[in-house]
Amino acid sequence: MAQIVDTSDFYPGLKFKWQEGMWEVVNFMHHKMGRGGATVRTKMRNLETRSTIEYSFRSGERFERIVFDEKPAQYLYKEGDGYVFMDLASYDQIYLSAEVLGDTVNYLKDNLEVSLDLFEGKIMGIDLPDRVELKIVETQPGYKGDTVSGATKPAKLETGLSINVPMFVNEGEVVVVDTRSASYLERAKK
């Protein structure tokens, strides 16, 4: 039975059917106008083409929610333009293109456990853990005493992702990164 959601149920990551396609909410904002009804301005990603669009829905519009089957997998390595995962149940190797993975490639490191999102037998993408530990490969040197200022500096991580980190974090350190917001959380515990 199809699960129906409306615009009041939107949250980042919600997947739904709209205009013959499958979409994921990236972000949204409710907007109430002086006269007339409210609208929901939505930025969303097409799960098949990976393109992103912005669209305004009338408040209360209804959609069929997409529920994916999840299959545990482990990232193994990059091969050419694609990425190789191992199905943790059958030990089969699965090759996924960068187009299918989208921005999640910025968090992939060897042996990272993920969930493959399957819809009608087709892999639509992966779900990452909320937090991953990545090593800083390039940043300006830190200074003693820069712990309270709240200032940040850019840092390049081992996967190529660039984030802002506090001034006291140095090159070579491992940090915990929030995969939902691409932001620094803390230094990794040793």
Same domain membership, residue 58 and residue 16: yes
Tell me: do 74 and 102 sit in the same domain. yes
Domain holding 135, by residue range, is 131-187
Last residue of a domain, one of 78, 104, 127: 127
Query: Which of 50, 65, 80 delimits the end of a domain?
Result: 65
Q: What is this structure's pTM? A: 0.73
Residues 84 and 119 in one domain: yes
Q: What is the pLDDT of residues 40-98, one digit of tens each?
A: 999 998 888 878 899 999 988 999 998 888 899 999 999 988 999 999 999 999 999 88
> How many domains does the structure of the chain reveal?
3
CATH number for 138: 2.40.50.140
Output the CA–CA distances (angstroms, integers) from residue 130 to 2, 41, 116, 178, in the order listed: 28, 26, 15, 6
